[in-house]
Structure 1
Amino acid sequence: QHTIPTNAQQPSAGIRRQVAIARKRAIVQAGPGNPKPLQGRLHSDVQTELYLEELSDVITTTDIECQTDDFIDRPRTPLYIPTKSGKDAETQIEDGELFDFDSEVQPVLEFLVGKTIEQSLLEVLEEEELATLRAQQRAFRELRNNELAEVQRLQEQERRRKEEKERRVAQQRERLRMEKETIEKITARVFSQQYLAGLLPAVFSSLRRDGFFYDPVERDIEMDFLPWLMAEVHSRLEERNSMRSLLDTMISEVSGKNLKEWKDQETQPARSTP
């Protein structure tokens, strides 16, 4: 065990710097390490500080130990007892000197009975007051119900009056609308009659001239009978023409054949004559 003197010198700045450099070197050596140098080359340490210093591998170290005393528990605080002061005195009280039950219980009993009677009277008065309040509430409730019924009756009467008014107004509007519509119809009818008085003959004559008004028999003859008749005549004429052309063809063929035979007969005697 070594003791540390109070006037021990603090390490200088150079020693602290050397310790820091050695610590860094130990950290670097404890790490994964640098790769091995190539053949013909060596690793060297280089200082990177601003000022170069001489490095020393030997670092002066000193082991110092100290020992502290064990902690002692604090003793329990003693109970505070004030210092006794004054003098002790005593006295003797005999029976009947402070309280006589037979003579002093009567006012207490009278007080209790009076309080009980007073409380009973208060409770009776309270019950009567509550009964009066209930009666007043009942009367007020009946009055309010009557007023509500009267209000509902008046509201219902007002509602019926309003509905009747709206119905009468709607009927009046409908009547006015129907009158207006009737007047418009009458006016339109009179105007149409006046307008169509000279228009109908002109329209009928124009339609009759354009062929919209016709005699059914005449129209049936024109539309049905005449086309059928023309078709039949055309078909008969075509048949006759085809028969004539066929007959002409047969006649021409027979004539040509007879002419050829006649020519052949004429040429045969001429050949047999020499």
Structure 2
Amino acid sequence: MIQTLMEICFQRDTSYEDSKHNEKYSNKEKDPFLVQTTHKIEAEDLQKKETREKMARRRALARKKAKIQSNRAGQVTSNEKSPEKSASRTKLKAVEIQTENYLHASLVKPPIIDIYTQTELELLDDFGPSRALRESHDEETQIIPGDLYDFEEDIQGALDILVGKTIESALIEILEEEELAALKEQQRRFFEIRAEEQREAGDLMERHLIERMTAKNNTGASILLEKYLIQLIPSVIDQLRSTGVISEEEYFKNGSFLPWLIEEVTMELVDILSSGDVLLDMVRDIVNRKTEISKAMDISEEHELRSEIEKLVDRE
């Protein structure tokens, strides 16, 4: 009887599953769970209907599980109680069994055991390579010549300009330094030439002043000599006349003997005074005398000469 009920429940379950499986392609008008009516269906009725359907599904699943458990238990008990198989046996005999205990046992979770195996590394040495061999070619990552830009080729122009500008600036600095050195050397030579010219100008000025002073002294000496000759010539002429060197006719011929004589004597004296030896002796004597005076008065020779030159310049 229990087996009959289980078969009926199983048939209902299979019909329900088949109907649910073919629900997508079935005709809704022929669906036994749908009711065709013109009356208004309340929301509560729909909820009750859904609840009943859920309970029916649960009962169907429970019956299905119970049937499976009973089939498994029946096979075990039949194997234990069945006699040894004989050659003349051709069909099985149905034996009624109690499935209530198995229904309770199906609700208990059976024990689960995890089993694993350990493979030793020595066994895998000859099994295969450690790395899988590459069989395909990645065309997406292949870099064809020309895809990427050449850094050296692209940077060569900028590098040439940078190096050229650096060399140009270095050459300009070197030329500037050489030009400055040449200008400094030229300036130094100009200063030397200027100092030499100033020294020569000072020497020329001193020489000119000395010559003027000498000429002035000579002029004064000539005047003194002329006056002295005017006083001395008459007595000399008288002596020359008395001795007969000069005749009276020559003396009184043109009345110009006395001026001519004075002029000739003056010229001779001027030549003697302006000669180099006499002038050098005079300058040496004057310098020695001035040096002795300056040493006595603690005044330097250069300062005194410059003061005298300035005084002479102021007088002129």
Which structure's relative contact order is higher, taking Cα pairs within 8 Å and 6+ residues apart? 1
